[in-house]
């Protein structure tokens, strides 16, 4: 996970989702059946990184931008 947090820290300000958006996304992921070991098994991404990026989308539209 440290590498994921490092990548997130390197995102530009214009690439990052707002903190409240990021938190709401992660709250949804944490209650999602597709989440396993910090990974979305629907698409294989690390949800922390996906949620942190402004333009990301949930593959099942459980959260939007």
Interface residues toward ligand SF4, by CB under 6 A = 28-29, 32, 34-35, 40, 42, 47, 50, 58-60, 62
Residue closer to ligand SF4 (CB basis): 16 or 62: 62
Residue closer to ligand SF4 (CB basis): 19 or 33: 33
Minimum CB separation of residue 33 from ligand SF4 in Å reads 7
Give me the residues paired with residue 40 across strands: 35
Q: Where are the alpha helices (DSSP H) in 1-65?
A: 2-9, 19-30, 47-52
- 3-class state of residue 64 by DSSP: coil
């Amino acid at each position: 996970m440290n590498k994921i947090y490092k990548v997130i820290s390197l995102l530009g300000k214009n690439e990052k989702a707002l903190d409240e958006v990021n938190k709401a996304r992660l709250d949804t992921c944490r209650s999602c059946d597709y989440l396993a070991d910090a990974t979305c098994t629907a698409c294989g991404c690390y949800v922390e990184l996906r949620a942190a990026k402004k333009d990301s989308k949930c593959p099942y539209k459980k959260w939007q931008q």
